[in-house]
Structure formats: structure tokens, C-alpha cells
Amino acid sequence: AQKVTQAQTEISVVEKEDVTLDCVYETRDTTYYLFWYKQPPSGELVFLIRRNSFDEQNEISGRYSWNFQKSTSSFNFTITASQVVDSAVYFCALSESWYSSASKIIFGSGTRLSIRP
């Protein structure tokens, strides 16, 4: 069965601190996709990144970076020099392979990140 675990329910840091959101996943598929989404108070899920299971290269996008480690089934997300606008709920998610008939996304329970000024 597929599962995504975000053990950190809530994190609160002071602005400009670095913060890492943890994500651990379970799947029997050899081909799968991992995602991070941001959900601000407005409710809309904002896509941040997609990574396929064959690409373990870490990625950096501005203040955001992602560390994918297949050996530990983890896909962690780091925000460098956090800002108040980063405050939101962040979801890690997993999707079945391309060959599946339905690309349902399995979400973790989310981490609520609060950045204090």
C-alpha cells in the first residue's frame, strides 16, 4: 500500500531561519512520483515540485530545496531564510506510475508552518 508520512504536525520559526519539512513515503511501485504542494489559508493547493523515482538529484529553486533519498524513502523540503509569506500548510504527496489507469495523488497529513516576524 502507498503511504506518505509527515511526522511534523506544526513548525514555528522566526523569520530568516532555515526550516526543513520531513516526508517519508511507502510504495511498492518501482516507478512513482513525489510532489510537494503548498496550501495557503485561501485553500488552493499550489504545486511546488514533482520528482520521479529515477531522478535522485537534489533540486534548488530560489530559497527552496528538495532532498530526495531513495535509500531512506524520504523527500525532504528545506526553506532557506524563511519569510512570513511562507506560512502555510505544506503537503508531501505520492503518485502512482504512468502505467496506472488513474493518477491518484496520495497526500500526507501536512505540516503547518508558521513564520514569526
Partner 1 sequence: ETGVTQSPTHLIKTRGQQVTLRCSSQSGHNTVSWYQQALGQGPQFIFQYYREEENGRGNFPPRFSGLQFPNYSSELNVNALELDDSALYLCASSPLRGGDTEAFFGQGTRLTVV
Phi, psi torsion values for 70, nearest 5 degrees:
-65, -35
- Tell me how far the alpha carbon of residue 25 is from its chain's centroid: 11
Which residue among 8, 13, 15, 52 contacts partner 1 (CB under 8 A)?
A: 52
Q: Closest CB to partner 1 among 58 and 103? A: 103
Q: How many residues bind partner 1 (CB under 8 A)?
A: 32
Which residue among 42, 57, 61, 71 contacts partner 1 (CB under 8 A)?
A: 42
Which residue among 7, 109, 114, 116 contacts partner 1 (CB under 8 A)?
A: 109
Q: Supply the DSSP string of 22-72, one letter for each residue.
A: --EEE-S-SS-EEEEEEE-TT-PPEEEEEEETT----EEETTEEEEEEGGG
For residues 1 to 20, the per-residue mask of contacts with partner 1, x marking binding by CB under 8 A and - elsewhere, is: ---x----------------
Q: Closest CB to partner 1 among 32 and 79? A: 32
Under the criterion CB under 8 A, does residue 104 sit at the interface with partner 1? yes
Per the CB < 8 A criterion, the answer to whether 106 and 4 are in contact is yes
